[in-house]
A = this chain, B = another copy of it.
Amino acid sequence: MMTRADFEKLDAQDPLAGLRQQFILEDGLIYLDGNSLGVLPRATAPRVAQVVQQEWGQGLIRSWNSAGWISLSQRVGNKIAQLIGARSGEVVAVDSTSINLFKVLAAALGIAQARDPARTVVLSEAGNFPTDLYVAQGLSALTQQRCVLKQVESGEILGALSQDTAVLMLTHVNYKTGAMWDMSAITAAAQARGVLVIWDLAHSAGAVEVDLHQANADFAVGCGYKYLNGGPGAPAFVWMHPRHAAHARQPLSGWLGHVSPFAFSPDYSPAHGITQFVCGTPPVISLAALECGVDTVLAAGSVGGMRAVRAKSTALTRAFIACITPFCERLGLTLISPRQDDARGSQVCYAHANAYAVMQALIERRVIGDFRAPDVLRFGFTPLYTRFADVFDAAQGLQEVLATKVYAQERFTRRQAVT
């Protein structure tokens, strides 16, 4: 049995330990919810104040040029590209994940149906994050079923790829279970059947290794406020493989996606490459905060980059499972994340009959994880600021909450709007 001292030793040996200094973290708080909202980087508040007070307040409209606002989506996109195996000029940071998914789904559908109009199915996983499914349903209704969403269980995805399938749309790491797809293998299998592949990297970017070019993916979107630490509701990002640049056409055609926005031409002509995926004017303040968040992940470049981040992530989640296993069954927990390291993202989830109340009780003990309906306890391990000692303490806390049944108290069982 490992002791807390063993975990402290792991922290002492951790080459990424210094990255924690980039964040403002409350003493004694164990935050295992960076997969829902990443913590505040030290650089963000001063940078946001600068954007508000100097760039906006003093620069005013001139800052579109002088402060580079006009290409901020591209600048932040280029930084994100480095974390996901994309190249400079291939990513923009803009809008929300949902909106970006609508863009790439419509673009991919257009490409697929230009090749073969009989391909109408958008295939996805039944347990995908709901917004991904909703966006496909919205596109289906708008196009009068020119595409139809088909949801199958994860084990049936490969078998469900058929002559009817236009697009396979998957989230790389499942939001609820932490299960991670083999991006290269799935992409290759789908493409072998003539299917385009869209990856949602919401729970991947900044946490696990992603190499979009190596995997030969077609499109990708992702989230700025989880492992990228961009702040609440931070803009999302979107990537397209350059082989599609000449043909792809996304329908949310706004003025900043125009090839020449300041010509104010009455007819839309898309910008080259990924810039056509910019639509309206992006929220500059939130985008500046996102850049600070992305910088915290890029800082890992000096200590091994995303490979080292992933290695630590795997070690953290493996250690957490190891800590829980001795009391898991006895205290009513069921592991729903994959035990196999390379099939698991940066989170560990357990089912428990009283999951909501258990999480509330744990939060009161200053271990913050997430509840996901109906019965899931979700623990996210952000390698940049989570320590091995935190893993030990969180497991201890969970054990005590469960063993003492403190969670049965009314103040924990009473539901709030959001958790």
**Interface, chain A (partner B; CB < 8 A):** 24, 26, 31, 33, 36-37, 39-40, 44-45, 48-49, 52-53, 55-58, 60-65, 69-70, 95-99, 102, 106, 126, 129-131, 133-135, 137-139, 141-144, 146, 151, 176, 225, 231-236, 249-255, 257-258, 261-268, 279-287, 289, 363, 368, 370, 372-373, 416-419
Q: Give the contacting residue for A70; candidates B36, B135, B417; CB below 8 A.
A: B417
A26 cross-chain contacts in B, Cβ below 8 A: 58
Q: Are B61 and A40 in contact (CB under 8 A)?
A: no
Known: A58-B26, A134-B255. A232 touches B263 (CB 8 A): no
A64 cross-chain contacts in B, Cβ below 8 A: 232, 418
The distance from the CB of A367 to the nearest CB of chain B, in whole angstroms, is: 12
Q: Give the contacting residue for A254; candidates B36, B49, B131; CB below 8 A.
A: B131
Bound form: Cα–Cα A323–B282 in Å:
37
A231 cross-chain contacts in B, Cβ below 8 A: 52, 56, 283-285
* Nearest B residue (CB) for A234: B283
Bound form: Cα–Cα A267–B418 in Å:
20
Bound form: Cα–Cα A58–B370 in Å:
17
Q: Are A280 and B45 in contact (CB under 8 A)?
A: no
Q: Give the contacting residue for A69; candidates B45, B142, B232; CB below 8 A.
A: B232
A70 cross-chain contacts in B, Cβ below 8 A: 417-418
A-B residue pairs in contact (CB < 8 Å), sample of 10? A36-B61, A97-B280, A129-B255, A137-B253, A143-B143, A151-B266, A231-B285, A233-B283, A234-B283, A262-B418
A236 cross-chain contacts in B, Cβ below 8 A: 280
A44 cross-chain contacts in B, Cβ below 8 A: 52
Q: Are A253 and B135 in contact (CB under 8 A)?
A: yes
What is the total number of copies of this protein in its complex? Answer: 2
A283 cross-chain contacts in B, Cβ below 8 A: 231-235, 283, 285-286
Sample of 20 further A-B pairs with CB below 8 A, known A40-B57, A134-B255, A234-B283: A26-B58, A33-B61, A40-B56, A45-B53, A48-B52, A61-B368, A65-B417, A102-B251, A129-B255, A129-B264, A130-B255, A130-B264, A130-B265, A131-B254, A143-B143, A225-B281, A232-B283, A235-B283, A262-B417, A264-B372
A126 cross-chain contacts in B, Cβ below 8 A: 266
Q: Are A142 and B57 in contact (CB under 8 A)?
A: no
The distance from the CB of A204 to the nearest CB of chain B, in whole angstroms, is: 17
Known: A266-B126, A370-B61. A134 touches B254 (CB 8 A): yes
A96 cross-chain contacts in B, Cβ below 8 A: 95, 254, 279-282
A417 cross-chain contacts in B, Cβ below 8 A: 65, 70, 262
The distance from the CB of A228 to the nearest CB of chain B, in whole angstroms, is: 13
Bound form: Cα–Cα A358–B143 in Å:
48
Q: Are B65 and A131 in contact (CB under 8 A)?
A: no
A255 cross-chain contacts in B, Cβ below 8 A: 98, 129-131, 134
Q: Name which of A33, A134, A255, A279 has the most chain B CB atoms within 10 A of its CB.
A: A134
* Nearest B residue (CB) for A97: B280
* Nearest B residue (CB) for A369: B61
* Nearest B residue (CB) for A128: B266
The distance from the CB of A13 to the nearest CB of chain B, in whole angstroms, is: 28
The distance from the CB of A307 to the nearest CB of chain B, in whole angstroms, is: 28
Bound form: Cα–Cα A253–B98 in Å:
8
